[in-house]
A and B are shown apart, each in its own frame.
Chain A
């Protein structure tokens, strides 16, 4: 297993290098606008160059968002002359789809910022009125979740981290909100935390208005609260990743005495960092710890069971999957740290990698669609990140909040990307033929797009053009699909050529039978005879040699005898 992983990692490194080399060669002439190389993974899991599915649209700082209004005394949103007009370490962004508003947790400034769909300031909340604990101001809130109920009221859920509370508040005006519910550290003995704290970071609310909070140094999953704020237990913990260290501990445990056992620390899983909920109520989690391979990305059902479980025989691969990866363009080895996940309105999964600043887009079946974004290791440009903290999707755009550069980057879909996404949506619905024109557009722009080859292959398969389908699947290196196409192709071929085949077989039979009859009657000489004759000839030849040798020996003997005799005779004569 380890060997296999190592091999995979090696393969990845070499292929990434190759991809980067190809791209750097091509980009010199193309004059790229993006500060990174787009790539994708093929069916071998090798990195290959690809077209960009998204491009940088714009970057918004606090000034661009209109935060100066907060310091203008004549403005409705005026707070104070000293209110910061820049973002400071924003940790979360949320898009509320009913009113189409963006909400940003401006963490270091201890406030929540509300923006309209054009990213213009609409409101700002520095605290909450009427909380039970009496604390008004937020203290470094890291998570925000907003729901507009059917009655038109908007409710904001804030993970008020340093105040150790989660609040649900009703929005009453552009800078005021009323506390409805305040959740503090649960008294329940079930609640355990390594540092005995309650520091909610990310907040999520499901259809039944249960509240989930990811808390610092809690590795049993997210804390789940019901509508009334009662602690319900933990939800969807990660499992312990099986490493050499864990195996060593398990072996030691077998031999350890009870006292030794007590002093041993138990293996704890790493906590997941962030989550999102889709329209069907599934919760998706990402684990930020470097190089996680177990449970790095999960899709949890209501029972907290992971649907994307590779141990159950699936083969889901996310991001630059786990192992250390080499980046040829910067000559560095990096680890992946998945920091945020977002499911957009089409069901596409967007995963943000903190280290590389890359966004990985997958369809609902976890097939890679596109990769974009970068960290600014060598140059600070639009579309490169220093500390990408959160990702959100809306209007086919992707919004990434950078907590170090303190800005908001908007990516828009390229033409290629929009064709690709349209095609994938039809493909995932099983409407292969309808997706065909989109796939052709995609393939015209990127001839090695594996997904497009698969899509066209399946379209051909459902249209009955098996030969063409086989070619597409071969290019995509999809062995299973190729096999399916080949099966139909073979069937068709046999049907088309049945008469011809039948005739050939009958003729062969007739030929064999006549030959055997002719052989029996002795009209054709059997091959066996020939062989025997050859052997006989050889034998006689050998025998002849042997005989000749024998004869020669006999002659020699006779000669010797004769010589002896004559000698004797001579001796006798002498006597």
Chain B
């Protein structure tokens, strides 16, 4: 049927939202390396959007630049999504494996990344009256990515449409759960650390006499 290079497959998937992911699945294609690069570019695009958007369009608080929220918004959310989706769909008779979910999800993010870069670029040449073009490009990319993501999940698990919707809703819920537990764990470890550190200081004071 179809024979493409690695990038050719990416292009095929993006421009054939209905059967692209099915083809990808049956041909056992898709590269994890490309997927990781895409997630990296997602992060870069978010940084670019915050820092390089035209002055008139940029409403973010530019006095401080903190990379952590952007990192969480891109990389952490992406991997949480992948793990949450895998956890849910394993229980819901999904056929996708972790690697496939990761690849498919990453591939479907490409239009959003491209849209973000393009919107950031043209916002430097536009005035606020023409803001609709900037927004149109940005939201077009986002909408396209949402459709692709839906198809990706549907294809990788071989679900029907209603089941895909249920699975996505459950995935979002599980994402919340995972993040909540992660924060809980983090604060717990911090307290353990503080406890140990205070014991250490106490003992060191005693030894010094």
Contacts and interface: CB of A to CB of B under 8 A. Distances in A.
Interface of A: 44, 46, 474, 477, 479-480, 482-483, 486-487, 490, 531, 534-535, 538-539
A482 B123 CA distance: 13
Given A44-B61, A490-B125, A535-B4, 11 more contacts: A44-B63, A479-B55, A479-B56, A479-B59, A479-B128, A482-B56, A483-B127, A531-B8, A534-B5, A535-B3, A535-B5
Chain A CB within 10 Å — which of B61, B128, B129 has the most? B128
Contacts of B63: 44, 46
Given A44-B61, A531-B8, A483 B128 contact: yes
A247 B56 CA distance: 37
A490 B55 CA distance: 14
A338 to B, nearest CB: 28
A534 to B, nearest CB: 7
Contact of B127 (A474, A486, A535): A486
Nearest to B54: A486
A118 B204 CA distance: 70
Contacts of A538: 3
A480 B128 contact: yes
Nearest to A542: B3
Given A474-B55, A482-B56, A486-B56, A539 B3 contact: yes
A490 B127 contact: yes
7 shortest A-B CB distances, which residue pairs?
Answer: A483-B56, A487-B127, A483-B128, A535-B3, A479-B56, A483-B127, A482-B55
A207 B145 CA distance: 66
B177 to A, nearest CB: 23
A97 B3 CA distance: 92
A341 B8 CA distance: 71
15 contacts: A479-B56, A480-B128, A482-B55, A482-B56, A483-B127, A483-B128, A486-B56, A490-B125, A490-B127, A531-B5, A531-B8, A534-B5, A535-B4, A535-B5, A539-B3
Interface of B is mostly: loop
A143 to B, nearest CB: 45
Nearest to B8: A531
A486 B57 CA distance: 12
A487 B63 CA distance: 25
Contacts of B55: 474, 479, 482, 486
A480 B129 CA distance: 11
Nearest to B64: A14
Contacts of A534: 5
B34 to A, nearest CB: 17
A538 B6 CA distance: 12
Contacts of B5: 531, 534-535
Contacts of A477: 62
A34 to B, nearest CB: 27
A21 to B, nearest CB: 15
A478 to B, nearest CB: 10
Contacts of B62: 477
A535 B9 CA distance: 12
A487 to B, nearest CB: 4
A511 B124 CA distance: 27
Nearest to A14: B64
B59 to A, nearest CB: 8
Nearest to B131: A483
A18 to B, nearest CB: 10
Nearest to B59: A479
A103 B122 CA distance: 63
A531 B12 CA distance: 14
A44 B127 CA distance: 21
A529 to B, nearest CB: 14
Contacts of B128: 479-480, 483
Chain A CB within 10 Å — which of B3, B55, B56, B62 has the most? B56
Contacts of A44: 61, 63
Nearest to B2: A535
Contacts of B59: 479
Interface in B128-145: 128-129
Contacts of B4: 535
